[in-house]
Amino acid sequence: MPLSPHQFDRTPDRITNRPTWLISRAFARSSAILSAGFEQHGDGLRGYHYRLLAALEQWGPASQTDLGRTTGIDRSDVTAALTELEARHLIERRADPQNKRRNIVTITPGGISELAALDAVVNKAQDDLLAPLTQAQRHQLVELLTRILEPTDP
């Protein structure tokens, strides 16, 4: 009885239990939740902008290359995202007197409050995503994912 609907109520085993598949699905859900949140509170800002603002707020002024390194965003994408942030007066770029090829990027007070708003969005996304897990399980998940990511840093 091919093509009957109840044949399709689960994903293929070959795929379902594979970490790479699960991670891609988790990422899809996570992205959907985040972008929905960004769209609501959206001044058109997205993940890249959030990462950059967070890095700036946490570490203070930095060059664009350093921002790229710490946020995992390519130099060229950093340039584009910063331009959009600058247009909204959320960051400032000024030339480094010590090194004329370098821009020193600073977060503005407006950027800090925007970051706070985005933080709320991102925090809520964590809860939405991890709703089915207990606190201990959430911690476990973070631990495991961290371990996966750690040894590749250098």
Partner DNA sequence: CAACCAATGTTGGTGCTGCCAACGTAACAT
Partner DNA sequence: ATGTTACGTTGGCAGCACCAACATTGGTTG
Contacts with DNA, residue ranges (CB under 7 A): 24-25, 28, 31-32, 35, 44, 46-48, 63-65, 72-80, 82-83, 93, 99-103
Nearer residue to a second copy within complex by CB, 88 or 102: 102
Nearer residue to DNA within complex by CB, 140 or 142: 142
Q: Provide the b/e sequence for 57-79 (b: ≥16 CB within 10 Å).
A: eeeebbbbebbbebbebeeeebe
- Residue 76 tokens read as 């060229």
Nearest of 107, 81, 84 to residue 94 by alpha carbon: 107
Q: CB within 8 A of 63, min separation 6: which ones?
A: 96, 102, 103, 104, 105
CB atoms within 10 A of CB 9: 6
Write out the H or E segment, with its range, that includes residue 36. helix 19-40
Nearer residue to a second copy within complex by CB, 29 or 87: 29
Nearer residue to DNA within complex by CB, 80 or 140: 80
- Residue 1 binding target from DNA, a second copy, none, CB below 5 to 8 Å by type: none
Site for a second copy in 94-123 (CB under 8 A): 96, 104, 119, 122
CB 107, min distance to DNA, A: 15
Nearest of 93, 45, 57, 51 to residue 70 by alpha carbon: 51
Kindly list the residues in this chain that would bind a second copy in the complex (CB under 8 A): 2-3, 5, 7-8, 11-20, 22-31, 33-34, 47, 51, 54-55, 57-63, 66, 69-72, 96, 104, 119, 122, 125-126, 129-133, 137-138, 140-142, 144-152
